[in-house]
Structure 1
Amino acid sequence: MNTSRPAPPAGRTRLLAAGAATVTVGLWASAFVSIRSAGEAYSPGALALGRLLAGALALGAVCLIRREGWPPRAAWPGIAISGLLWFGFYMVVLNWGEQQVDAGTAALVVNIGPILIALLGSRLLGDPMPPRLLAGMAVSFAGAVAVGLSMSGEGGSSVLGVVLCLLAAVGYAGGVVAQKPALGRAGALQVTTFGCLVGAVACLPFAGQLVTEAAKAPASATLNMIYLGLFPTALAFTTWAYALARTTASRMGATTYAVPALVVLMSWLFLGEVPGPLTLAGGALCLAGVAVSRSRPRAGRAAASELVPPDAGTAAAAPERRPEPEQA
């Protein structure tokens, strides 16, 4: 069981949270390449279940080594909802949607998610909506639209695919907003591990497909599925939770607009897909918008308020609340 330790200085906390967010967006962008490879051999539900099982096993092993206990009862509603919406529903629907539309359309529609997070976070969590955040999100979304349009092919989309990607964005936003209060009552590793486990249980109906397809799939597709579970899921979702516990849901959502720019770069490096001028311009806008949304006003008071946001329904003291262990 973790023992209580003094909280690190505010400056170091911000630096660690920024580093965790950087790891998250980098690994989530790398998932683009692996999903394209694994998706050729695995159906949407089977791919999601295999990814979640690999992630849950890795996270469970770490929890055993660190002797993490069960999350407090007060954290379970957020863990369960985020596990169902984000780890389960989102992954299945997104995998399915990406088979129905081209990559550009999928990226464009799913990037509605951070906007939904900001709206839900403001309404349900009391997240502040400073002008810098709104301006940065507007710039980043314009960049995401440019990247999506530049990557969209002719005749590669369907109404069903667009609807599925939109549902994925809704599930993503709902999962993030539900996860935020849970992080006020349990550690990032606990919330991620049990959320991943909930998602895996929700995807168990696809177990038959996973077994059948794994027997026929090439080794490269299976290795990509395992990679998705270990890194973009187990590691990236943990670093996400660590950063989310130390900032607002709206600001973290805006940070994910860096993903389309990194996807463009990785597709160029690993898939040989040379980006055109519109793609490069869109990627630059995404990064510029993230920089604006993550910037802080000069006033020290405003910066401090962004570090520890007044979450409605979360700030009340709970006897089961435990200190967040420092993640190196």
Structure 2
Amino acid sequence: MTNSAGTAHRSPWPALVAAGVTVVLWASAFVSIRSAGAAYSPGALALGRLLAASVVLGCVLLIRREGLPPRAAWPGIAVSGLLWFGLYMVALNWGEQEVDAGTAAMVVNIGPVLIALLGARMLGEHLPPRLLAGMAVSFAGAVTVGLSMSGEGGASTIGVLLCLLAAVAYATGVVAQKPALAHGSALQVTTFGCLVGAAACLPFAGQLLDQAFDAPVSATLNMVYLGVFPTALAFTTWAYALARTTAGRMGATTYAVPALVVLMSWLALDEVPGLLTLAGGALCLAGVAVSRSRPRRSVDGGDGGLRETSRVSGRPPG
């Protein structure tokens, strides 16, 4: 705070790195869900994932002695926990059992658009032309990837509705989480949001116990991996980055996930993507680059997004 110029130059990078960690781990989750989802029902998989994440986050919270978040953070934690950690995970797991991966990707990827619109409406965030242009390019890329991966007759009405519900829950949860980060740390908001989501999924405890006895070890390990890395770690790095930028920009960043999923499937599963899939992935990445870029007309242009974030979140960036 004593050197605003230094902060303006240094503060964007930790947030960008954190966002990058989140995007990579969320992309890897799609590969793990494919294995775990074959042995666990949607609710059981969501509960197992959240329980694993809660154990890890709880231990880290105790080691760091951060304690309970302030009272002002709890409304956002409760809403994001119920909608994003709870409803989103169950709806997405269920939806991906009813529709092909391409259809799911297309429907769920309206989430970043909803985040930007809700952020503008509820948080007073601006929608810069570059952000809107980048989101349009990325959304076109996500649709292209989805079309290239869609199977024949793989979509059902209930599956599409479930993926749509997941997208709405995701967007609303992110926008609710943003104000909570003005009062609590990224670790506190993530930990207690995860606990709220796990509590909401407790009705699936019986299914989880029954299916754990019959599930192959690989499926259970994938479920634990989903909890430790794409949930405990990636949701914390997401919250850290979200506290330092706008919800709209963070939502646009997740458009890199489809491109990374294509690459990971190619490397890990030997699924060679077609030219249309590669083109869609390139569009996703190009759109993210556009949405994250800033004009260079002035010295202050680099921290314009951070100053905007400071006004929304109620605390200085960094």
Task: Give the superposition deviation at 1:272.
Answer: 1.2
Task: Give the superposition deviation at 1:297.
Answer: 1.1
| 2:190 alignment partner in structure 1 | 192
CA distance, structure 1, for counterparts of residue 233 and residue 172 of structure 2: 21
Q: Does 1:261 align with 2:280?
A: no
Give the structure with the higher percent helix: 2
Report the CA distance shift for 1:237/1:53 in structure 2 as closer, same or farther (over 3 A): same
| 2:83 alignment partner in structure 1 | 85
CA distance, structure 1, for counterparts of residue 184 and residue 302 of structure 2: 25
Q: Is the 8 A contact 1:78 1:181 kept in 2?
A: yes
The letter of the residue matching 1:300 is V
Q: Is the 8 A contact 1:124 1:312 kept in 2?
A: no
Task: Give the superposition deviation at 1:81.
Answer: 0.3
CA distance, structure 2, for counterparts of residue 251 and residue 102 of structure 1: 28
Matching of residues 296-311 of structure 1 within 5 Å: 296-298=294-296, 299-309=298-308
Task: Give the superposition deviation at 1:69.
Answer: 1.2
Task: Give the superposition deviation at 1:311.
Answer: 6.9
CA distance, structure 1, for counterparts of residue 158 and residue 7 of structure 2: 49
Task: Give the superposition deviation at 1:312.
Answer: 7.2
Q: Is the 8 A contact 1:44 1:96 kept in 2?
A: yes
Partner of 2:308, secondary structure, is coil
Q: RMSD across aligned C-alpha pairs, in angstroms? A: 1.8
CA distance, structure 2, for counterparts of residue 49 and residue 310 of structure 1: 33
Report the CA distance shift for 1:314/1:228 in structure 2 as closer, same or farther (over 3 A): same
Among candidates 167, 174, 177, match of residue 175 of structure 2:
177
Q: Which runs of 5+ in 1 are unaligned?
A: 1-5, 318-322
Identity %: 76
Provide TM-score, normalisation by structure 1. 0.93
Superposed CA offset, 1:256-287 (max 9, x none): 00000000000111111110000000000000
The letter of the residue matching 1:175 is G
Among candidates 141, 150, 153, match of residue 151 of structure 2:
153
Q: Which runs of 4+ in 1 moved over 6 A?
A: none
CA distance, structure 2, for counterparts of residue 221 and residue 300 of structure 1: 51
The letter of the residue matching 1:226 is V
Matching of residues 48-67 of structure 1 within 5 Å: 48-67=46-65
Among candidates 198, 201, 222, match of residue 203 of structure 1:
201
Task: Give the superposition deviation at 1:13.
Answer: 1.6
Partner of 2:39, secondary structure, is coil
Q: Is the 8 A contact 1:54 1:226 kept in 2?
A: yes
Superposed CA offset, 1:124-170 (max 9, x none): 00111111000000000000000000000001110000000000000
Superposed CA offset, 1:21-47 (max 9, x none): 000000000000000000000000000
CA distance, structure 2, for counterparts of residue 214 and residue 260 of structure 1: 30
Q: Is the 8 A contact 1:133 1:251 kept in 2?
A: yes
The letter of the residue matching 2:252 is A
Report the CA distance shift for 1:25/1:313 in structure 2 as closer, same or farther (over 3 A): closer
Superposed CA offset, 1:227-276 (max 9, x none): 00000000000000000000000000000000000000001111111100
Q: Which runs of 5+ in 2 are unaligned?
A: none
| 1:3 alignment partner in structure 2 | none
Superposed CA offset, 1:180-225 (max 9, x none): 0000011000000000000000000000000000010000000000
CA distance, structure 2, for counterparts of residue 181 and residue 286 of structure 1: 28
CA distance, structure 1, for counterparts of residue 207 and residue 273 of structure 2: 36
CA distance, structure 2, for counterparts of residue 273 and residue 127 of structure 1: 40
CA distance, structure 1, for counterparts of residue 126 and residue 300 of structure 2: 14
Q: Is the 8 A contact 1:126 1:312 kept in 2?
A: no
Q: Does 1:222 align with 2:220?
A: yes
CA distance, structure 1, for counterparts of residue 307 and residue 55 of structure 2: 32
Report the CA distance shift for 1:312/1:295 in structure 2 as closer, same or farther (over 3 A): closer
